[in-house]
Amino acid sequence: MTRFAFILHPINARDAARRYPIAKLLPDSVIEKMLAKKEPFKVSDISGVVSATGATTEGIFVGLPLTPRMMIDKMSLEAVYDKLEGCTKIAEDEGCKIIGLGAFTAVVGDGGATVDRRTTLAVTTGNSYTVGTAIQGAMDAAEAIGIEVSKATLAVVGATGSIGKTCARLMAPKFARSLVVGRDEQRTEELAREIPGATATTDVTKLREADVVVTVTSADTAIIFPEHLKSGSVICDVSRPRDVSVRVARERKDVLVIEGGVVQVPGRIDFGFDFGFPPGCAYACMSETMLLALENRAESFTIGKDVTVDQVSEMDRLASKHGFKLSGFRSFERAVSADKIERVREARKSLVTA
């Protein structure tokens, strides 16, 4: 059996305060100073992953006590790499052969390449399976609310990043029109030129033209707000921290926001830690690490700033083989109700018949 490890970290200082109740009384800046002094640690054991083939695996969560803001603004990149190296050493001591870089650890720096060079473990960001599940989730949601994609407009936000770029390349041919939205005008235009029918923009307000939005930026705070969205549209938010503001859940009952990449893991899995999902569910990036472990493939898989179409196809194939599948739609940490889908369907109908 190949054991695996997966790195978790707090999304913000308040998130960290949930683990240390006394920290609730402290300002964020003080909490982050406390976190910076902490070393990585083992969070829990993970057991009960049983493939449809009968193969099994088990592993551990490793906690990295850094928020995205600390990784970007408060610490040097070298200091972040040192902390990540500490995570890999814990995994090695626990007998793991492969480690997955969770959430912002897959984004910071060079997308895992340096971590890969500094450890004997195999490393993966999990971005290949994240792309596959984001596409499937967005397309399933579009169908659920009655969007005819061949006549619709797609927008990919964060389109020049590793996940966004591949989502744009694979999804755009299915749509009548596509928008690629990035921060860097030149890089965004370069991407648009290679995708037939795509238009580049750095203006997030252009999302009002989109019927289906996939958003996957490395922003450390929300960038999509209620006023940016078209009635009767679907938004698949793959980013952690989220790109879509919680205000959208309160103020826009006529749009469907889903979390990208939530996967039902086969077996009777026990994560030993509550990260807010229903029993047996995990992020796609976690699942990619498990899939490679089930295959006994202790090899670095998705590393760096690009995800290839072949890598996405391979992860989709392994997921099917081992019985991993998308869970039901979730939005802002809750299951999406049938009533919610029906409200958005009605908004869509009103839009089409207007």
Query: What pLDDT, in 10s, does the model give residues 304-314?
Result: 988 999 999 99
More confident call, 22 vs 223: 223
**What mean pLDDT, rounded, does the chain reach?**
92
At residue 274, the pLDDT reads 86
How do residues 64-91 score in pLDDT, each as one tens digit?
A: 999 988 998 889 999 999 999 999 999 9
Mean pLDDT value of segment 53-66: 96
Kindly tell me the burial class for residue 157, based on how many C-beta atoms sit within 10 Å of its own C-beta (0-12, 13-18, 19 or more): buried
- The pLDDT of residue 25 is above 80: no
- CA pair distance 261, 281, nearest whole angstrom: 10
pLDDT band at 353 (very low <50, low <70, confident <90, very high): low
Task: Report strand pairing: 262-264 vs 325-326.
Answer: antiparallel
How do residues 201-239 score in pLDDT, each as one tens digit?
A: 999 999 999 999 999 998 878 999 999 999 999 999 998
Q: What is the pTM of this model?
A: 0.89
- The pLDDT of residue 145 is above 90: yes
- The pLDDT of residue 20 is above 80: no
Alpha helices for 229-337 (secondary structure H): 246-251, 284-294, 309-322
Residue 9: how many CB atoms within 10 A of its CB?
A: 26
At residue 352, the pLDDT reads 64
More confident call, 109 vs 86: 86
At residue 327, the pLDDT reads 87
At residue 354, the pLDDT reads 58
- The pLDDT of residue 240 is above 80: no
